[in-house]
Structure 1
Amino acid sequence: MIGYFGVRGLTDSSQARALHNAAWVEAAERGLHLGWESRLQSLVVDDHAITRILNWIYIFGHWPVIALTLIWLLSRHPELYARAAGAMLLSGAAGLVIFAAFPVAPPRLAGLGMSDTVTEQSHAYRVLQPPAFTNQYAAMPSLHVGWNLIMTMAILAATRKVWLRVLAVALTVSMDATVVLTANHYVIDALAGAALAHLGWHLTGRLQARARRQQQTTLEGFARPSPLVVARPGRTG
């Protein structure tokens, strides 16, 4: 939390650099044929029923879902809870470094003519994420996408129930679409967030596997019987 506020303080005064970096991201997307944000939002922005749903997903499909998922994992699958929490910490730490080194203005602030549907149409957003707790130049990477994906991977690893697995996948897919359609992130932001999430999940899994091997080796060492020492008769006289 201290790190987040430190980065927020650094980037809040970096509007010019954030806009410059946003222009760089837009150019990279054009080169990769990924500059879909304006075109996609234009398909839904005039339908208030759709934008209301998107706003709800963006607001209530992130922190509330993460909290409920972590509570469920902690009570039912503590090892997966530790892996998910570790993946969030690792990807979040990497995200803070990127936010500080490469602040990026989101599409809604980059002069692309896109509407900030969440702020314009919803009051609940400022209740769950008041301005003092948000960094408006932290578009790259999208931790909305990344951390939702971590929850999805944890749920898929924890259960074989079809309905729950489908819901987990929908959690990620809907957030992927929402962050772009609400003009909060570029397509590349979403891809970067997903990549960080996969990296954090993979590294945490490897650390847990190493810890299990070390624990097993230690237990085997305690369980292994000590070799008998046979005393040889000594010479006398």
Structure 2
Amino acid sequence: MGEPTDIQQPGAEQPDAAPGTPAAAPAGPGRMPDGATRVAQSRSAALRNRVRDQRRSPARPRIWFELALIGVSYWLYSLVRNAVPEQEAIAQKHASWIWDFEHSLGVAFERSVNHAMDGIGWLITGMNYYYATLHFVVTIGVLVWLYRRHPGRYVGVRTVLFVTTGIALVGFYFFPLAPPRLMTDGGFIDTVKTHGTWGSMASGPATHVSNQFAAMPSMHIGWSMWCGLTLFFLARRTWVRVLGLLYPAATLVVIVSTANHFWMDAVGGLVCLLVGFLAARWLYHSSVYKLPRVPARELPEEPITVPEQWSEPAVSTARR
């Protein structure tokens, strides 16, 4: 019989190397010649984890940062919107296209509504002030409410608003459009000018600081629908949710009655809002309304509990 042969099992230890022989370096793709690679990998993993956690539960920004961001964003929005060349001839041409297209569909009702509402002085005056003020007041109010009551959803829902507005700026630049009240031979009534409403940049002395041919898409509809959906999905009281749905509907009536927009401009605003929601869903991998109400880092830490027997002196039953 031959001498027994040693069988090397997988994972068995290799015999010690002879003294003075350098140890073999581990082979394979995970080889790390020094600590630099290991540190770089740990930092990269930490960054990926941080981005993943921010997507799952966005942190509430500091109030000073958010106020600065909103202020700068609105300044840029106004700057870009009003810096676009007015291009009156092209804007009038586009308005004729829209008006003719609506006539071909049999839904060119804006002029009839405009004339009917203009005959009710107190109502159309109220609509003029509605158009000039609530567009900003309600939007800012919803942002403040979100920041205080739904801090975990604030960043995601606010992202929808920012993307919506950014897409609208593209529309203002590439599709200048005259509002119905400024259409040549359109037959519409400029209700702000007729009733002397103050505070609106649609007509009067303030028109020189605002681009009068940035009607497509309608951000009155885009922002009001954003406010309405946010209140409908996140508010607890039924009457607040109902008001959320009524707000964009009332805004549609106002923009048509005051001849500031065609109803097709409202469709454009809704398309921009849809793009905003799709972009936010891609970014956060979820509907923004389904994000945690409170960020994970703001939740109170739960006390650590241990089994009851761990707190009792251990009793050994073993006998020698």
TM-score above 0.5, yes or no? yes
In structure 2, distance between residues paired with 1:21 and 1:87 = 28
- Residues 80 and 158, structure 1, Cα contact 8 Å, conserved in 2: no
1:208 maps to which of 275, 280, 284: 284
Question: Per-residue deviation at 1:193?
Answer: 0.7
Distance 1:160 1:199 in 2: 27
Give the drift of 1:68.
0.9
- Deviation (angstroms), 1:204: 1.3
Aligned position for 2:258: 182
Tell me, in whole angstroms, the C-alpha distance in 2 between the residues paired with 1:45 and 1:66.
27
* Residue among 169, 175, 198 paired with 1:123: 198
- Residues 20-99 of structure 1: pairs in structure 2 closer than 5 A: 20-99=93-172
8 Å Cα contact 2:80/2:169 also seen in 1? no
Looking at structure 2, the residues matched to 31 and 193 of structure 1 have their Cα atoms a distance apart, in angstroms, of 22
Q: Give the helix-richer structure, 1 or 2.
A: 1
Greater Cα radius of gyration, structure 1 or 2: 2
The aligned residue for residue 181 of structure 2 is 108
Q: Give the Å deviation of 1:92.
A: 1.1
User: Distance between the aligned counterparts of 2:77 and 2:245, measured in 1?
Assistant: 31
Pick the aligned partner of 2:225 from 149, 157, 167.
149
Aligned to 1:8: 82
**1:175 Cα deviation (Å)?**
0.3
C-alpha displacement of 1:166: 1.2
Give, in angstroms, the shift of residue 4 of structure 1: 4.2
1 or 2 for the larger relative contact order (CA 8 Å, sep ≥6)? Answer: 1
Q: Deviations over 1:76-112 (max 9, x none)?
A: 1123322332112111111111111110000000131
% identity of equivalent residues:
27
Q: Gapped runs of 5+ residues in structure 2? A: 1-74, 297-320
- What does the per-residue CA deviation read over 1:202-237, in whole Å, with 9 as the maximum and x for residues that have no partner? 32134223698xxx9xxxxxxxxxxxxxxxxxxxxx
Residue 51 of structure 1 deviates from its aligned partner by 0.3
C-alpha root-mean-square deviation of aligned residues, in Å?
A: 2.4
User: Following the alignment from structure 1 to structure 2, what is the Cα–Cα distance between the partners of residues 18 and 32?
Assistant: 21
Of the structure 1 ranges 60-69 and 116-125, higher mean CA displacement relative to structure 2 is found in: 116-125
Give the secondary-structure state (helix, strand or coil) at the position aligned to 2:84.
helix
Structure 2 residue aligned with 1:165: 241
- Rounded Cα–Cα distance in structure 2 between residues aligned with 1:19 and 1:79: 45
CA contact (8 A) 2:95 2:178 kept: yes
Cα–Cα, structure 1 residues 3 and 151, in superposed 2: closer, same or farther, change >3 Å?
A: closer
Inter-partner Cα distance in structure 2 for 1:136 and 1:98: 14
- Corresponding residue pairs, total: 211
Distance 1:151-1:79 versus aligned 2 partners, 3 A rule: farther
Q: Report the Cα distance in structure 1 between the residues aligned to 2:225 and 2:239, rounded to whole angstroms.
A: 17
Query: Which sections of structure 1, spanning at least 5 residues, go unmatched?
Result: 217-237
Cα distance in 1 for residues equivalent to 2:78 and 2:200:
19
* Amino acid in structure 2 at the alignment position of 1:125: S
TM superposition shift of 1:21: 0.9
Instruction: Give distance in 2, aligned partners of 1:135 and 1:79.
Output: 36
Who is 2:57 aligned against?
none
TM-score (norm 2): 0.61
Specify the code of the residue in structure 2 equivalent to 1:42. Answer: H
Q: Closer, same or farther in 2 for the Cα pair 1:166/1:17, shift >3 Å?
A: same
Query: Structure 1 counterpart of 2:200, which letter?
Result: Y
Give 1:233's aligned residue.
none
